[in-house]
A = this chain, B = another copy of it.
Amino acid sequence: MSKPLNVTIWNEYWNERNNPAVSEVYPDGIHAILADALRKRGFDSIHTATLDEPEHGLTQAVLDRTDVLLWWGHRRHEDVSDEVVARVQGRVYQGMGLIVLHSGHFSKIFRCLMGTACTLDWRVKGEKERLWIVMPGHPIAEGLDRYFELEKEEMYGEPFEIPAPDELVFVSWFKGGEVFRSGCCYIRGRGRVFYFRPGHETFPTYHDETVQQVIANAVRWAAPSAVAEEPPANVRREPIEPIEEA
């Protein structure tokens, strides 16, 4: 617990460079504001990586020193190489935490870890979202009130095609009439996975103090107590107790 957490923030980083409506809100990229938010909250070892870097910036060396990985992607999910996805997945099995943000619901890595379609209903009208805390004592909800609001957000609606979360922390209310399971915890191998809904690229969601607090809480929650040295494997074992062989 006392050694510093190594956090890697992965961002597709396409919208910010190709859509003025996005670059206005996130001029240095979504990864930059997330890095700032975590630094302000006491995380000192922050690394960023983006899609267009070699190996998307996620070499084995980078992953091996990452305790918690954040993932934001939207338009170019299919451009993420299967090899890198498998590498991230293997590292989650060993214990690396993974926080999947917003449109990352449809990333290869999230779909591979969930084993479901991960589809949902959606609408971009900039309507009000209110996130209710349904597990008030959960570490990811630490310091929050009964709910928090985002004035303008994309709507995501049920059915969200996910396995039943191991822990459901937030449920969203949308002005337009929908609800959504907005904060979902999973264990996959030794790794902890958290899906957090808000964060459409044209709205200033990641500038919001409460959203930043949730993400910082989630990083702490997702940090492994100990990472396995090897990925899991099928292992032949001798009997511990005496048996009569067939």
Spell out A's residues near B (CB within 8 Å). 1, 93, 95, 106, 112-117, 119-123, 125-128, 130, 132-137, 139, 142-143, 146, 152, 155, 157-161, 163-164, 166-168, 171-179, 181, 186-191, 203, 224-226, 228, 231-241, 243-246
Contacts and interface: CB of A to CB of B under 8 A. Distances in A.
Contacts of A127: 239, 243-246
A115 B115 contact: yes
A181 to B, nearest CB: 7
Contact of A136 (B1, B120, B146, B190): B190
Give the residue among A160, A235, A238 with the most B Cβ atoms within 10 A: A235
Nearest to A191: B137
A163 B188 contact: yes
A179 B188 contact: no
A93 B116 contact: yes
Q: Quickly give the copy total for this chain.
A: 4
Given A166-B164, A239-B127, A115 B114 contact: yes
A240 B186 contact: no
Nearest to A157: B237
Contacts of A224: 137
A143 B168 CA distance: 26
Given A121-B235, A187-B163, A189-B116, A240 B178 contact: yes
A125 B128 CA distance: 22
B134 A146 contact: no
Contacts of A233: 117, 119
A137 B171 contact: no
A222 to B, nearest CB: 11
Contact of A137 (B115, B117, B190): B190
A244 B176 CA distance: 9
Contact of A142 (B186, B203, B226): B226
A233 to B, nearest CB: 5
